[in-house]
Structure 1
């Protein structure tokens, strides 16, 4: 433990809050495993965490605006903050769809940052796969010979396609271009070096418990600040770290949502021990709030499904119920687009479930509803 935390940090003081937070997080994850609304909760958590990430950065994005922007049914021109929140949303989905720990690999980090892999690793991979490419070329040549002997009508086209595919496989990915004038990116900001330093610190934390490792990794991320324009990526990497360590097997934790509702505000003026305790309490608060949200969605699902009884087998009302649970906010154009129906039919279905839906805007036009 000496490599991960300094000697000034009292492990005895950290033990109680981290054990409590770890138990709360494990209980919620186990509940989510067998919950009928687990998928709906996960989809909603992506939206809530994306909005919370912008809130923690000092910017405000309304949840309904993010939902409509993601569905392509904006009611106004998207703001810069909304576009950033949508980038967080897409990144969360990408990490959640991959295997646990993918975001922490070199290839995963490069993909999330929008750049190619380091050149050294690319050359090693190319050298390792050159033999396999030669074998594949030999098999392709043999197949082409057999096909040419049986039919010579498309020989020129086949040869052109084969040469093009072989060349495309050998082309290295191009580095993303960015502004080097110093107006957008700091020329002295060494992202590769800072990421390497953070990964090195992460490797020194393997002897800590999973949640304590996550807290120390997030604190190191905020101290090093590897990325200039994507500081929110650190919490997503830490959430993926919890999945890789087996603490959250069935969801990607919405850590930013926990920080948003926590009373303590993280500050560099506080000592490391106070910041670690604050992280544990934020995680515990997040797990308890998520458990209450799971109860609310379960009850809402039971009430909504009662309205679906004695319906014809091809009715779209059950799918509309799932849509109401999966999306924090629904509108008439959004429902019509997702269920591929007319806006009049979508309005009729919303009216049928109006007793279990809450109208959010209080207007007669451009209205939005949410599950009670």
Structure 2
């Protein structure tokens, strides 16, 4: 679909914005490779991109609420929008933790869509699922035989060990989709749309990474393979950039890039304008992330000064890492992550208060963020 339109665009107009975006993204990725706050930046980027994904869908989610919900320390009852943002967050983490090309494989797409099979061993292979399952059962039986022969464990330990191995190799079954027609459109052929999008993705594999990602994302938004979870498209485009080696240190936050740019997609925009907008979003995101990386690096240096001269078992350095990795820190969150009392967490946060900003201005439910 996108490649048919690509023959009619002016490459002279696309050359400058795509080259500029490619250079900005490459420079930022190289800076992130050697940065001492790279891991903290990646963790924070997941939260920001999840909120931006809901913003693009016309819904607003507070960053603070998402952080607290992810940590299991909600102050209020989670809203529907917050639950959706958390789903985006978990999906980003899942894609980032796997191999670069996993999200674009048949099994990866099926798993991200919620159509995965029960056993993780079967999900790693597209064929021979029955043989794989039988091999897994035989392996479990052989392990059990060895355990019984060695006599190392008692009967109860053998049962617990076998149960643990089965649980580790199994994935939760996907929820059954409502096919009553009240939630999903019965005429929406998801499989055919997904096949069309994958065909477009395959035809773009010989193009440069940024161009291929822009076409893949544009085709996703035009074809609309999923009735729900439209936010998955930019994540797959970011996974494409990572699988092609354009970004190696992080999963590109495309939702954040589109939120920061001035461009807003409308139905009357032509294909060429949409590609240029994608390049501008990439460049805007890369420059903003470079500034954020500088801010985190400076904040780390200032916060670590507070840790000098402390005893070896002090948790202050761990609190500094938490403040860098989490966009928002509260006393219950710090106490839970550091495994200290809330009084100890309050004391340590107070010692760092000169380099932290209190967000709420209240005496209860207070939250802090790095300056």
TM-score (norm 1): 0.89
Q: 2:127: which partner in 1?
A: 124
Tell me the distance in 1 between the aligned counterparts of 2:31 and 2:218: 29
Q: 1:278: which partner in 2?
A: 277
> What secondary structure is seen at the aligned counterpart in 2 of 1:39?
helix
Tell me the distance in 2 between the aligned counterparts of 1:257 and 1:228: 22
Deviation, structure 1 residue 116: 2.5
> What secondary structure is seen at the aligned counterpart in 1 of 2:6?
coil
Render the CA deviation track for 1:212-260: whole Å, top value 9, x for unaligned. 1111110000001011110000011111100000000000011000100
Tell me the distance in 2 between the aligned counterparts of 1:250 and 1:123: 28
Q: CA RMSD in A?
A: 3.3
Q: Which aligned pairs between 1:131-146 and structure 2 lie closer than 5 A?
A: none
Deviation, structure 1 residue 342: 1.0
Q: 1:11: which partner in 2?
A: 11
- Alignment of 1:37 with 2:37, yes or no, is yes
Tell me the distance in 2 between the aligned counterparts of 1:288 and 1:123: 40
Render the CA deviation track for 1:145-164: whole Å, top value 9, x for unaligned. x949x99x97xx999x99x9
Whether contact under 8 Å (1:17, 1:280) holds in the other structure is: yes
Tell me the distance in 1 between the aligned counterparts of 2:139 and 2:41: 45
Deviation, structure 1 residue 135: 7.5
Q: Can you give the 5+ residue segments of structure 2 that lack an aligned partner in the other structure?
A: none
Deviation, structure 1 residue 176: 3.9
> What secondary structure is seen at the aligned counterpart in 2 of 1:183?
coil
> What secondary structure is seen at the aligned counterpart in 2 of 1:307?
helix
Tell me the distance in 1 between the aligned counterparts of 2:97 and 2:291: 25
Whether contact under 8 Å (1:262, 1:285) holds in the other structure is: yes
Greater Rg by CA: 1
Render the CA deviation track for 1:61-103: whole Å, top value 9, x for unaligned. 0000000010111111111000000000000001100010111
Q: 1:106: which partner in 2?
A: 106
Tell me the distance in 1 between the aligned counterparts of 2:174 and 2:281: 38
Deviation, structure 1 residue 6: 3.0
Tell me the distance in 2 between the aligned counterparts of 1:289 and 1:131: 51
Deviation, structure 1 residue 5: 4.3
> What secondary structure is seen at the aligned counterpart in 1 of 2:307?
coil
Whether contact under 8 Å (1:116, 1:173) holds in the other structure is: no
TM-score (norm 2): 0.89
Deviation, structure 1 residue 51: 0.2
> What secondary structure is seen at the aligned counterpart in 1 of 2:310?
coil
Q: 1:59: which partner in 2?
A: 59
Deviation, structure 1 residue 188: 1.3
With over 3 angstroms needed to count, the CA separation of the structure-2 counterparts of 1:335 and 1:135, relative to structure 1, is: closer
Q: Which aligned pairs between 1:152-167 and structure 2 lie closer than 5 A?
A: none
